[in-house]
């Protein structure tokens, strides 16, 4: 059937009302009773927040198309145009009564004080020209200084919330008949559990991040909790809220969703909305474009296949709006982990099992080598933030001076609730050359564990196939300090560390195929990992093939060339082939490099303390390089960024880099 030039499928979902063809939207009963909530609603948050005649006209049109559930908030400045549009719809006969609509609004943080809740709701009702709401929500588990309606709020305005007293005021609004149901928004499972323990009227809805729900932030744990407690989840940002203060492009740029949409003959938006709908959630859509308004309703008479749902279930997870606006060192919530009382904005990270067993290794890790080597509070803070963003694999070394700040950041993360246990992390450190003597291996590992405040490592590596004079942690080492390594005895000491339970796996770094072969011939426990330089300009094909054949996992350092370090070069970031591929694909050059390494089957270590790049470096999991792009990268002339000249000398065990690498460079 065509409505104003747009196709709507005729089915049992359509009925006639006042000569206007409308989609009948399924409803769900709330635990509080009252009117059922339509499963598809219209959001009215337009950023920057503003009231407009265009919004009023669009809401009226959406009512004519069949929408009956509208979501507003004091902060959005959309209550007045929504109220005017409802009055217009009544005058035009698009609806017979306000009772045909389901209207939700929200208490802003500046009114989240017990004495301000009722006046705030009364003001909302005046704005809407209504006698009651169907649902009133606490917008965030946050209070701010009264009188200011702004997002983001000023950090100095963030205040503790007296949730018990605020909820009693919400219950009073319900008792007065000013709202038929009450609920919350942006509440974690833990905060809901606390609220349920003190509430006389339990929250009917958790509209968190209205809970933010989309295929890239699926909220499985929170949904299971809400279902068990009879709380209806209402999803906002189902398409990622691209273009808003709280949104990202990630959902609409997701290759998995693009492929499913193309195969199914649907839009990517429809795939997202149908997926949310099939989870049992209510879903809030927001478009003032009539074609898309119609499209957003066309999700009711078809289904996703089990295979499609499985593919969506495998999409790496990342939260679009972690709530940084509500955290500050001087505020009640010091971190997003505290705000969410859970794991915050974690990405679901693919892992690989090591030959030694134990915990799987996350495929993307965070490196901590900053040159010149130094410990810093900035590093500690950056590592904590990376944990909140979803990183779980961290690489350090005795040489880097980063063990102590990494250990402190892990302790911070545990205190903040960003992780529940150290066991959620995969921690690697390395034996420096000055400790690569049989009698020094165990004391070196014990010192590393003290620095990290840990009882065990997940992986301990021999940093180089080199020994130097004990007691000096320097790069480059003095040439006169270079000594032969007794690899057989050093490896026996590494195996002893493993037997003592001080490290779950052992491995090596900067070993050639020939050196690995020699080690394998004498090892009782074979090395689980070889951490080496890998990037599109140093592809390590021969070494990788050897490692795969022997069950040794390659872990790539310097995937971007380590520009700016003692061991790095600009060559990777200046490569024209990579620049062209990045431009054509709409990715950064760094993402092209990281994805290429990832597609080789390697684990990859990234290092950035810039939050935007930390997030960017995780955004390599849901798209692929084409065969043509991989072929072009395969043709790039090869050159090793760090040949290891620091470890060769006429008077040293290795006289040349050819000896150090056994002719493999």
**Which residues are catalytic, by number?**
400
Q: CA separation (Å) from 301 to 13, 282, 418, 617?
A: 8, 16, 40, 38
3-state SS, residue 176 = coil
Q: Radius of gyration over alpha carbons of the chain, in Å?
A: 29
Q: Measured between alpha carbons, how far is 257 from 276 in angstroms, rounded to an integer?
A: 13
3-state SS, residue 140 = coil
Q: Measured between alpha carbons, how far is 319 from 317 in angstroms, rounded to an integer?
A: 7
> Taking Cα atoms as reference points, which of 447, 446, 460 lies closest to residue 491?
460
Q: Measured between alpha carbons, how far is 432 from 465 in angstroms, rounded to an integer?
A: 10
Q: Measured between alpha carbons, how far is 655 from 649 in angstroms, rounded to an integer?
A: 5
3-state secondary structure 1-69: CEECCEECCCCCCEEEECCEEEECCCEECCCCCCCCEECEEEECCCCCCCCCHHHHHHHHHHHHHCCCE
DSSP letters, 209-258, are TSS--BTTB--HHHHHHHHHHT-EEEE--TT--TTSTT--STTTT-HHHH
DSSP letters, 601-632, are T-EEEE----HHHHHHHHTTSS----HHHHHH
By the 10 Å C-beta count (0-12 exposed, 13-18 middle, 19+ buried), 521 is classed as exposed
Torsion angle, CA of 353/359/364/368, rounded to 10 degrees? -140
């Amino acid at each position: 059937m065509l409505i104003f030039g747009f196709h709507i499928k005729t089915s049992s979902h359509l009925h006639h009302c006042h000569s206007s063809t409308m989609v009948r939207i399924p409803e769900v009963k709330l635990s509080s009773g009252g009117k059922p909530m339509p499963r598809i609603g219209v959001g009215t948050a337009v950023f920057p927040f503003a009231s407009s005649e265009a919004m009023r006209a669009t809401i009226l049109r959406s009512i004519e198309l069949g929408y009956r559930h509208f979501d507003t908030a004091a902060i959005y400045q959309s209550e007045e145009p929504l109220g005017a549009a409802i009055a217009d719809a009544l005058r035009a006969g698009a609806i017979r009564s306000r009772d045909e609509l389901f209207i939700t609004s929200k208490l802003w943080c500046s009114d989240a004080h017990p004495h301000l809740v009722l006046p705030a709701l009364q003001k909302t009702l005046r704005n809407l020209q209504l006698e009651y709401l169907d649902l009133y929500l606490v917008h965030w588990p946050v209070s701010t200084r009264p009188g200011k309606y702004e997002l983001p709020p000023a950090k100095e305005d963030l205040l503790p919330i007296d949730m018990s007293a605020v909820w009693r005021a919400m219950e009073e609004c319900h008792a007065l008949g000013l709202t038929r149901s009450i609920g919350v928004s942006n509440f974690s499972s833990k905060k809901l559990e606390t609220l349920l323990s003190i509430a006389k009227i339990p929250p009917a809805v958790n509209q968190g991040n209205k809970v933010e729900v989309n295929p890239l932030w699926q909220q499985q744990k929170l949904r299971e909790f809400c279902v068990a407690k009879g709380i209806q989840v209402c999803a906002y940002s189902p398409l990622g809220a691209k273009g808003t203060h709280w949104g990202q492009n990630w959902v609409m740029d997701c290759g998995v969703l693009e492929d499913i949409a193309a195969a199914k003959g649907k839009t990517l938006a429809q795939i997202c909305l149908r997926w949310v709908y099939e989870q049992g959630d209510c879903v809030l859509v927001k478009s003032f474009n009539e074609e898309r308004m119609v499209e957003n309703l066309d999700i009711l008479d078809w289904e996703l296949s089990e295979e499609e749902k499985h593919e969506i279930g495998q999409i790496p997870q990342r939260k679009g709006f972690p709530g940084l606006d509500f955290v500050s060192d001087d505020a009640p919530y010091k971190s997003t982990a505290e705000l969410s009382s859970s794991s915050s904005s974690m990405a679901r990270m693919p892992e690989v099992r090591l030959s030694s067993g134990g915990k799987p290794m996350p495929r993307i890790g965070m490196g901590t080598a900053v040159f010149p080597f130094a410990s810093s509070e900035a590093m500690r803070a950056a590592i904590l933030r990376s944990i909140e963003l979803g990183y779980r694999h961290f690489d350090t070394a005795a040489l880097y001076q980063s063990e102590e700040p990494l250990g402190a950041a892990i302790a911070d993360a545990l205190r903040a609730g960003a992780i529940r246990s150290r066991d959620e992390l995969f921690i690697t450190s390395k034996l420096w050359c000055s400790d690569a003597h049989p009698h020094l291996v165990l004391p070196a590992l014990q010192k590393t564990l003290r620095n990290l405040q840990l009882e065990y490592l997940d992986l301990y590596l021999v940093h180089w196939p080199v020994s130097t004079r004990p007691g000096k942690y320097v790069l480059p080492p003095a040439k006169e300090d270079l000594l032969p390594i007794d690899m057989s005895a050093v490896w026996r000491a590494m195996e002893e560390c493993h037997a003592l339970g001080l490290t779950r796996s052992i491995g090596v770094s900067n070993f050639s195929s020939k050196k690995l072969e020699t080690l394998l011939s004498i090892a009782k426990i074979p090395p689980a990992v070889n951490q080496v330089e890998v990037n599109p300009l140093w592809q390590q094909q021969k070494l990788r093939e050897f490692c795969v054949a022997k069950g040794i996992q390659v872990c790539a350092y310097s995937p971007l060339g380590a520009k700016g370090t003692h061991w790095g070069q600009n060559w990777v970031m200046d490569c024209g082939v990579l620049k062209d591929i990045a431009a054509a694909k709409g990715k950064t050059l760094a993402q092209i490099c990281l994805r290429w390494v990832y597609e080789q089957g390697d684990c990859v270590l990234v290092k950035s303390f810039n939050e935007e790049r930390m997030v960017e470096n995780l955004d390599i999991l849901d798209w692929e390089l084409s065969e043509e792009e991989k072929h072009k990268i395969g043709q790039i002339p090869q050159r090793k960024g760090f040949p290891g000249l620091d470890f060769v000398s006429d008077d040293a065990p290795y006289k040349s880099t050819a000896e150090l690498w056994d002719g493999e460079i």
